[in-house]
Structure 1
Amino acid sequence: MAPLGGVPGLVLLFSGKRKSGKDFVTEELRSRLGADVCAVLRLSGPLKEQYAQERGLDFQRLLDASTYKEAYRRDMILWGEEKRQADPGFFCRKIVEGVCQPVWLVSDTRRVSDIQWFQEAYGAVTQTVRVVATEESRQQRGWVFTPGVDDAESECGLDNFGTFDWVIENHGDAQRLEEQLEHLGC
């Protein structure tokens, strides 16, 4: 049974390592399609909001790429895992409530359970997209390996997922990225 909200014509589930460019790619697609056609949905949004409420933290600061967010990242990951173990679809249901655009881009799919939830809820309109970038490219974007974060399920849960419907290489070559986005089907 699909949750409250519109019935999408296309759901693209984006995954990839930190600093691979998932948000950049989804924002590029939304700008091409327009906000009236395309919604970017972030599983981390309701997670961070609930976490901030329970811990008395600044929700807005947890949304940006700040040292504030990084200071809480590890604990937030553990907290989110507990929530997902109790209810694997908890965050998925929250992000689709009230969405009426026909194209949904879920910018931060991190677990097999996220993919399974969307596939069960929306079936054949759901496709998986893996955004990949070299370690060098990720480091240039500010990535530094962090134990307990980069080796946790939130980063590695889809490493052995199998075959993604799409793979976007985002190594910093704007022309190559453009060509890939044109073929994505949006």
Structure 2
Amino acid sequence: MAVPKLVIILCGKRKSGKDYVAARLKEILALGDSLSVLRLSKPLKEQFAKDHGLDLEKLMDSSSYKEKYRQDMITWSEMIRDKDPAYFCCLATEGADKPVWLVCDARRPSDMSYFKSKYNGRTLCVRVVASEDVRVVRGWAFTAGVDDAPSECALDNYQVDMTIVNDDGDDLSQQLEAIRTKVKRTTT
């Protein structure tokens, strides 16, 4: 594993558009082979699917299949995190060898702590927000035990470096340009 020059960490609520922002950032940054896109949820979902005989591809997308198992995944992953808070972060970063990392889905202060302590001074924490109305249009509905759990709420008051508003109709270009400028300064 290479030591990155910069780790961009995206966080935000369900249906705020973290994956969309990550895809746009990937385009705008145009780093090609210099960017590793990391998903903390990937090793979690891989192991959960394996342990429970589930379809990994369906767990990785934004389908109702994933929502059906979300509560169970949260409970299962919390048991693992109670033993080792950095467990999924370590798995997600295995093999990451590019100068810039884009972490698409930080959910907890322990995720932020892992990256900030390990890569001190080389992190950019970005919260992606969208109004509740927009999130509803995107398919979000409040689910007790999910939307009031640490996986959704633990970073509500976390001090981030930047906030991106991702409501439909908003032009993200200007907001993402600030990140591109930071990446350019950091990596050149």
TM range (shorter): over 0.9
Instruction: Tell me the residue number matched to 1:119.
Output: 116
After TM superposition, which residue ranges in structure 1, 4 or more long, deviate above 3 angstroms?
none
Residues 81-160 of structure 1 mapped to structure 2, 5 A cutoff: 81-160=78-157
Q: Deviations over 1:155-184 (max 9, x none)?
A: 0010122x2101101112342x11000011
Instruction: Tell me the residue number matched to 2:160.
Output: 164
Q: Give the letter aligned to residue 161 of structure 2.
A: D
Q: Give the letter aligned to residue 100 of structure 1.
A: D
TM-score where L is the length of structure 1 = 0.93
Instruction: Tell me the residue number matched to 2:63.
Output: 66
Contact 1:14 1:129 in 2 (8 A): yes
- 1:50 and 1:81 map into 2 onto residues whose CA distance is 13
Give the C-alpha shift of residue 71 in structure 1.
0.8
Answering whether residue 76 of structure 2 is matched by residue 79 of structure 1, we say yes
Q: Which runs of 5+ in 1 are unaligned?
A: none
Answering whether residue 52 of structure 2 is matched by residue 55 of structure 1, we say yes
Contact 1:17 1:132 in 2 (8 A): yes
Q: Which runs of 5+ in 2 are unaligned?
A: 184-188
- 1:63 and 1:126 map into 2 onto residues whose CA distance is 25
Give the C-alpha shift of residue 19 in structure 1.
0.5
- 2:164 and 2:39 map into 1 onto residues whose CA distance is 19
Of the three residues 158, 170, 175, the one matched with 1:180 is 175
Answering whether residue 9 of structure 2 is matched by residue 19 of structure 1, we say no
- 2:31 and 2:122 map into 1 onto residues whose CA distance is 19
Of the three residues 32, 35, 60, the one matched with 1:35 is 32
Query: RMSD of aligned C-alpha atoms?
Result: 1.1
- 2:156 and 2:82 map into 1 onto residues whose CA distance is 20
Instruction: Tell me the residue number matched to 2:186.
Output: none
TM-score where L is the length of structure 2 = 0.92
- 2:137 and 2:173 map into 1 onto residues whose CA distance is 20
- 1:133 and 1:72 map into 2 onto residues whose CA distance is 24
- 2:31 and 2:119 map into 1 onto residues whose CA distance is 22
Contact 1:30 1:39 in 2 (8 A): no
Give the C-alpha shift of residue 142 in structure 1.
1.0
Q: Give the letter aligned to residue 13 of structure 2.
A: K
Aligned length: 180
Answering whether residue 1 of structure 2 is matched by residue 10 of structure 1, we say no
**Identity between Structure 1 and Structure 2 (%):** 51
